[in-house]
Structure 1
């Protein structure tokens, strides 16, 4: 890719090393080329014990019963979105599995080079909101040739990821949409000739979070966003966030700009998230390390992937806090890597970062209320060979007491997972072939890091455990996983689904080999772990099995789908975000499928119960170079939402690879700016036309 005069563009160390059509540009801008460097977790602790018999077998797992059946009400409007995007669905646990109103014929896989959003027969799609759409009454319309930082700060941000839609009136004709903005690609956003400092400022203004109001005529009509609505809000890199919990005020998070260590400017690298039972949004700060220059020599720097090389975006040229070698800013990177909580209903509220939930590369956090009343959040650390975590609140949920419930994530216990398999080690040979007992399965335990306000990690204080959670976890011996991304509990069963996207380093020289919970060497396709807590969600032991070992069965014979015939599934690779529909089906969006299948990323429905357990059906495919993010399933309305991220990623402004979503119909004249530049968007897919 050519270098552009006047604007730095990152080196592409993954060029020539990605598989299929996976973009090395995405590797550079999204995760700072994580796969080209050394694995951050070089700990040598032994953590996976293959055991012949476990104290807890998979056959002893207990269901949750009706513990998750809660309703969330704001005024006279019930918040009853899908259980996968909230942690609450009235009656879900009692209703059990059943037929969905959202019936469709699975689409055939789509070649990754196709620039189209492909949906099932009988369905159509249209954007809800696009990058650059104006949010406020005084916001300018998007102008591809005359973008500015001031304009971008008043417009919808770039590369939308986690998404949810919360009704705000009794007739369900108004709602708020939340989404976060993970990263930017100025190379396709801006034409040549931009002042480099202004280009960097535009990039900063396109990060962060957005809340925007939606409206529609009735529940059969598509949603449109409302410019100038009172709840519309942009959270920018200078927005103030309050740090809560035990690490707030610690010397480990103080800087020259914030000597109290309690107020943090901005949020970075936001990926997936979750919606709480009290109607707030959680967003995970993931690849924050790529925004900072650091000394790169300390154990903490190395464990979090911080280096002394210039960053891809070079914000350190504009703001000293992005170079932690500058006096007074040595702790700035410690102020990122948290779970963020936002109240989308109150545009005057201050968002918060919760230190009690630990600091690592959070994919997101998803909450469920245990039978004991404690709130439990599950969280994945999205890095090769990193860990799965769980947070249990100190206090208990009070139905209807929103003010109290909004304090539940500020104090509690933090755990990390250790898995054990029940098959002989020789049967886990890295091929992905099932062991003799016919299942990848076993038992596990939640290892304590902080319990009852006390550190359980020798030699580390509570503040150190929470700020350097990766280093703390290394000391207690958890299981190294194949990139835990989204982790979601089902309200129908209480089972927890852990999405492991891939790990192409597993089994390489000097790296950990296959284990029963991560059974494939050079794992390009990923897998999904199904966990059953022994008691309720606050339990410290569990059993597990692999729901699926992903891949295209025609190319990878080890692909496994809970026993469902592999010849009858849609091929699926690199699972990333998940959601549930109202009748308990799992929906999976993918990120990186072209690297192993040659097909476009997409959204897939998976049946979890009955004779079709494990059946995978593809619902949609996203355009060229794009990733599927933030699925929201409103099956009662036969409607699905996805965030389409980084379409046309490998292009340049002068040579775009995608025209999504403003395609010009055949024979029509393009509108100004139309079909010239791809725009990441939240889209809705629904049956029939408008």
Structure 2
């Protein structure tokens, strides 16, 4: 029987954290927003420079709660239960005209209203079920999980904590089986262990459990009948199933591999790293691998006060405290593994903050960290093919006032299926050109921070990609190539990149080639002593974030110039500062803090939110980006109390939405014994992956 819901708790918030609780801010990123932004460079912003470009312009199951009708006749369900520097910038590039989604691609579902239910809520005509939950067995022979019988050895074979980005890779023919690949971003020991009091009081074994709960999971899954529902394969060899943890050996590739900046006493050659940390978003490659981004790695290290003085500026630029042995919010992992003490191992932090490539089809393969793609707080990496066959990877650095990057490979993809072709493609991310974005504007003098459109009717402009390194050669004066790639933020500072409002996921539209960037929020924009609003970041005290659209010159993703616009400024549609590409705001769902992005096969953009600052639960939204429906944001689902809608993936058949529900019940004061959420199994909160499908077997979103 499902346990009764606890009464709703208020969500104590810290300044600048959007809708996140203080607990989330502590464990997710080490309270990054409570500290000064690490970017103290003097890069210009558009409040200080003149414009230099020419202007252009279903039926749901409701459990014990029964049916609840909220506005517009939408029926909600509880979702409970176990089923349940340089030259002038190029002028803007005019985007090609594109038809909007119509017919099969139209978004016809009825929007889910904002709510604070402790449930996953989906539209009429849809159903959902839990696919994988923290602690579920992954590797064959893994023991059944119990909150009272945890061990590091068991967790290293079980589904990790706080699932984030996810995707599926096809397995065999017929669309009946697939590999689910999931990032596990961080742990929250308050919600993992009974009787938790402090990280200092955790046993060494509990610290090792937390380390094992990081990383990635690869799980064989199978379709349920002819529906869009999926379930884990529980019998047979499951030879692809795999856990990657904070201790899994990985190999460094590219120009910085072997650099003195990456060598440690345990790895004097600087080529082998143990583990991956704070894996946030990711991407799929055309050759069948996955890319995983290491984000807020700074919070895992202590002893920054004991590093050599010459190393401190770079550590500070990455948010690592160098004035105290134990930074506030430290996880104290050095008690279980001395490599997390920078006073003993000053280069260890340099070995995190990379894009990691994993082959989900080979459980014995060694994951690789690609230094050619630069080191920063990677949200993820998304791949496009340039017309000449080179690989282009788009990447965001998730920090206030940090930058947008892309990488263009030296080599071209091979399209065959031979072993030689695959071996060649596995080297594509090892050498190329790393760029950072510089934006220019058409109406710089008119941006006042209110969100009001300038006189030309659009937030738009041109820009260029500034090269930082090409192959083994640095293009930044005074920096070696390994310094550029290991200390990429400092290199980008030096060339005058544009400071952005937390660039997170960057997603190319496979139908149009346009590139979309989720800028989650930045409440320091326009604050005293901080950069003011500019046209690509047009709102001061930007609590709700916005979406940026980039059109590469000539439609070539490898181009070095681009045009851009801001089609969506998120927030309450009733707020004058919000904007939805000119669409009728009375029909738009409120949306706050866009994080992860995804496109369906019809070119509709799907937006996952993190930290809804409008007082409701986070959710998944869909919006056409072309045609008459452009800007019509509709909420597709909401996640439970305290949770983040971390990621969604829609496979090519468009019959399933795989949804990552992260940190449910992560509300200040919550514990395993006194939970703020009982989702998904009616006991205490557990992160989980959910599948959503149409009851009639049709396509998602229609």
- TM value normalised by structure 1: 0.88
Equivalent position of 1:366 in the other structure: 382
Q: How does 1:150-299 map to 2 (within 5 A)?
A: 150-192=153-195, 196-220=203-227, 222-227=229-234, 229-296=238-305, 298-299=312-313
Relative to 1, partners in 2 of residues 1:549 and 1:199: Cα closer, same or farther, differing over 3 Å? same
| 1:103 to partner: Cα distance | 5.3
Q: Name which of 419, 428, 447 aligns with 1:428.
A: 447
Q: Is the 8 A contact 2:505 2:595 kept in 1?
A: yes
Aligned to 1:682: 689
Aligned mate of 2:661, from 630, 644, 669? 644
Inter-partner Cα distance in structure 1 for 2:393 and 2:621 = 24
- Tell whether the 8 Å contact from 2:14 to 2:34 is kept in structure 1 after alignment: no
In structure 1, distance between residues paired with 2:444 and 2:16? 34
1:202-224: CA deviation from partner (whole Å, max 9, x where unpaired)? 11111111101011254425211
Is 1:451 equivalent to 2:464 in the alignment?
no
Provide runs of 4+ in structure 1 moved above 6 Å. none
Contact 1:482 1:526 in 2 (8 A): yes
Structure 2 CA distance for partners of 1:117 and 1:15, relative to 1, 3 Å:
closer
In 2, distance between residues paired with 1:473 and 1:464?
12
Contact 1:102–1:638, Cα closer than 8 Å, also in 2: no
Residue 35 (structure 2) aligned to one of 27, 34, 37: 37
| Aligned 8 A contact 2:589 2:633 in 1 | yes
Shift of 1:634: 3.8
The yes-or-no answer on 1:539 pairing with 2:559 is yes
Taking a change above 3 Å as real, the CA distance of residues 534 and 140 of structure 1, as seen in their structure-2 partners, is same
The aligned runs of 1:487-566 (5 Å cut-off) are 487-535=506-554, 536-554=556-574, 556-566=575-585
SS of residue in 2 equivalent to 1:316: helix
CA contact (8 A) 1:455 1:461 kept: yes
Q: Does 1:375 align with 2:378?
A: no
2:548 and 2:24 mapped to 1: Cα distance? 26
Contact kept in structure 1, 2:112 and 2:123, CA below 8 Å: no
Post-superposition shift, 1:566?
1.2
Structure 2 CA distance for aligned equivalents of residues 110 and 61 of structure 1: 34
CA contact (8 A) 2:160 2:215 kept: yes
1:60 paired residue among 73, 94, 114: 94
Q: Which residue of 2 aligns with 1:396?
A: 412
User: Offset of 1:294 from its aligned partner?
Assistant: 3.8
Report deviation, 1:20. 7.3
Q: Over residues 522-581 of structure 1, what are the superposed CA-to-partner deviations in whole Å (9 max), with x where a residue is unaligned?
A: 000101110000121111000000010000112x21110111111111111100000000
What's 1:111 paired with? 115
Q: Is the 8 A contact 2:168 2:181 kept in 1?
A: yes
Q: Give the total of aligned pairs.
A: 628
Aligned residue runs from structure 1 range 348-363, under 5 A: 348-363=364-379
Q: Tell me the alpha carbon deviations over residues 52-89 of structure 1, each in whole angstroms, 9 at most, x when there is no partner.
A: 534744453468xxxxxxxxxxxxxxxxxxxxxxxxxx
Match of 1:569 in 2: 588
Q: Is 1:62–1:533's contact at 8 Å kept on the other side of the alignment?
A: no
The whole-number CA distance in structure 1 between the counterparts of 2:605 and 2:210 is 35
Question: Structure 1 residues 284 and 370, CA, compared in 2 at 3 Å: closer, same or farther?
Answer: same
Helix, strand or coil: the match of 1:60? Answer: coil
Deviation readout 1:297-338 (Å, 9 max, x if unpaired): 611011001113245321011211101111xx1100000000
Aligned-residue offset at 1:592:
0.6
With normalisation by structure 2, the TM-score equals 0.87
DSSP 3-state at the match of 2:25? helix
SS at match of 1:464: helix
Give the alignment partner of residue 330 of structure 1, picking from 306, 327, 346.
346
- Tell me the alpha carbon deviations over residues 561-618 of structure 1, each in whole angstroms, 9 at most, x when there is no partner: 111111111111100000000010000000011x2x1111000001111111111011
Contact persistence 1:129–1:683 (CA under 8 A): yes
Q: Which moved more, 1:129-138 or 1:358-367?
A: 129-138
For 1:343 and 1:267, locate their aligned partners in 2 and report how far apart those are by CA, in whole Å.
15
Aligned to 2:58: none
Q: Which residue of 1 aligns with 2:606?
A: 587
1:335-359 residue CA offsets vs partner (Å, 9 max, x unmatched) = 0000000000111111000000000
Report the CA distance between 1:144 and its aligned residue.
Answer: 1.7
- The equivalent residue for 2:438 is 418
Deviation of 1:199 (Å): 1.7
C-alpha change, 1:465 and 1:104, in structure 2 (3 Å) is same
For 2:639, the equivalent position in structure 1 comes to 622
Q: Label 1:261 to 1:324 Cα distance change in 2 as closer, same or farther (>3 A).
A: same
Separation in 1, partners of 2:320, 2:145: 35
CA shift for structure 1 position 518: 0.3
Is the 1:62–1:534 contact (alpha carbons within 8 Å) kept by the matching residues of 2? no
> Matches of 1:219 and 1:631 in 2, distance apart?
21
Separation of aligned partners in 1, 2:228 and 2:400: 43
Structure 1 residues 271, 221: CA separation in 2 closer, same or farther (over 3 Å shift)? Answer: closer
Structure 1 434/346 Cα, relative in aligned 2: closer, same or farther at 3 Å?
same
Alpha-carbon distance in 1 for matches of 2:185, 2:262? 23
Closer, same or farther in 2 for the Cα pair 1:303/1:61, shift >3 Å? same
CA drift of 1:660 comes to: 1.3
Take 1:445 and 1:278, find their aligned partners in 2: how far apart are those partners? 29
Picking from 339, 364, 376, the partner of 1:321 is 339
Partner of 2:624: 607
Q: Which residue of 2 aligns with 1:90?
A: none
Is the CA contact 2:289–2:357 (under 8 Å) kept in the aligned structure 1? Answer: yes
Distance, in Å, in 2 between the alignment partners of 1:625 and 1:273 is: 23
Shift of 1:259: 0.4
SS of residue paired to 2:261: coil
> Given that residues 381 and 388 in structure 1 are in contact (C-alpha distance below 8 angstroms), is that contact kept between their aligned partners in structure 2?
yes
Residue 121 (1) aligns with residue 124 (2): yes
Give 5+ residue unaligned stretches, structure 1.
1-13, 64-92, 663-674
State the superposition RMSD in angstroms: 1.9
Give the corresponding residue for 1:10: none
| Cα 1:277/1:97, change in 2 over 3 Å | farther
- CA positional deviation for 1:676: 1.9
Q: How far 1:31 moved relative to its partner?
A: 0.5
